[in-house]
């Protein structure tokens, strides 16, 4: 059972990463009919929604695209910033979806932002407490580590609706504004769906790991009672 478990938590994220890379590579070679760069797509969406104060900047690294709410900037990786492909359009629009969420005060985005310091602290300290608790057979310390880990897991779960909503907003924008042709919507969705798999896989693995630790804690308590 442990072999199956470890195979799942290792192979599922790897499969998701391979899927997003292969899908992105495929559609990064398919130019959009409007032949606009990712930067132009992003600027068009932001301007259409009155977000003139949100900058569109070129970032660094492969698929390093993200929206920075602190500096109000959509940062696109070089291949998407300069690219004219379906993939570049989809990714740029997705990051603008986060900017729209931020401007509208989207509830799940606000909740996720409040979880950031707790999740960071929890992910850093949880395994220290968990390992000490397991090896020293201290169920109280193990439970504390599980609580901290649960905060990090909650962050990953809350991330799911944030990402799916951003993708939904992205597709609405690029189609309604004519930034891609209607016939290209299906291909753009494939890019965003593949990217979403990485978040789903990460959340699923995190939940499985949390459940495993809860079972270890339960077993430890039973052995103490005996």
Q: Is 51 helix (H, G, I), strand (E, B) or coil?
A: coil
**54 secondary structure, DSSP code:** S
Given this model, what pLDDT does residue 226 score? Answer: 58
Q: What share of the chain is helix, strand, coil (3-state, %, to 5)?
A: 75, 5, 20
Element (H, E) at 133: helix 107-135
Q: How far apart are CA 167 and CA 175, in angstroms?
A: 12
Question: CA nearest 54: which of 80, 81, 74, 70?
Answer: 74
Question: CA nearest 41: which of 106, 109, 97?
Answer: 97
pLDDT in tens, 116-138: 999 999 888 999 999 999 998 88
Spot the catalytic one: 79, 95, 184, 187. 95
Q: How far apart are CA 46 and CA 42, in angstroms?
A: 6
Given this model, what pLDDT does residue 13 score? Answer: 85
Please, which residues have CB within 8 angstroms of residue 16's CB and are 6 or more apart in sequence?
197, 198, 200, 201, 202
Given this model, what pLDDT does residue 224 score? Answer: 65
The residue with tokens 């077993």 is: 219
Given this model, what pLDDT does residue 166 score? Answer: 96
The number of residues making up the chain comes to 226
Given this model, what pLDDT does residue 192 score? Answer: 94
Element (H, E) at 58: strand 55-58
Ranges of the chain with pLDDT below 50: none
95 catalytic? Reply is yes
pLDDT in tens, 14-25: 888 899 999 999
Q: How far apart are CA 132 and CA 136, in angstroms?
A: 6
Quick one: angle between helices 86-104 and 185-225, nearest 10? 60
Q: How far apart are CA 135 and CA 39, in angstroms?
A: 52
pTM for this predicted structure = 0.88
**83 secondary structure, DSSP code:** -
Given this model, what pLDDT does residue 189 score? Answer: 94
């Amino acid at each position: 059972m442990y072999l199956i478990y470890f195979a799942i938590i290792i192979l599922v994220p790897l499969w998701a990463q391979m899927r997003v890379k292969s899908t992105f590579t495929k559609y990064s070679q398919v130019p959009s009919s409007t032949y606009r760069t990712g930067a132009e797509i992003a600027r068009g969406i932001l301007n259409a929604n009155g977000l003139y104060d949100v900058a569109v900047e070129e970032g660094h690294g492969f698929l390093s695209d993200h929206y920075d709410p602190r500096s109000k900037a959509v940062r696109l990786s070089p291949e998407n910033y300069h690219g004219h492909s379906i993939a570049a359009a989809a990714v740029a629009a997705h990051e603008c979806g986060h900017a729209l969420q931020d401007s509208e005060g989207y509830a799940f985005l606000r909740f996720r932002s409040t979880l950031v310091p707790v999740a960071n602290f929890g992910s850093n300290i949880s395994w220290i407490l968990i390992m000490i608790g397991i090896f020293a057979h201290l169920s109280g310390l193990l439970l504390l580590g599980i609580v901290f880990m649960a905060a990090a897991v909650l962050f990953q779960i809350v991330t799911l609706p944030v990402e799916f909503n951003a993708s939904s907003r992205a597709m609405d924008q690029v189609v309604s504004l004519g930034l891609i042709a209607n016939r290209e919507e299906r291909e753009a969705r494939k890019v965003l769906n593949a990217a979403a798999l990485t978040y789903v896989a990460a959340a699923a693995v995190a939940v499985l790991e949390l459940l495993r630790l809860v079972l270890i804690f339960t077993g430890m308590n039973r052995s103490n009672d005996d």
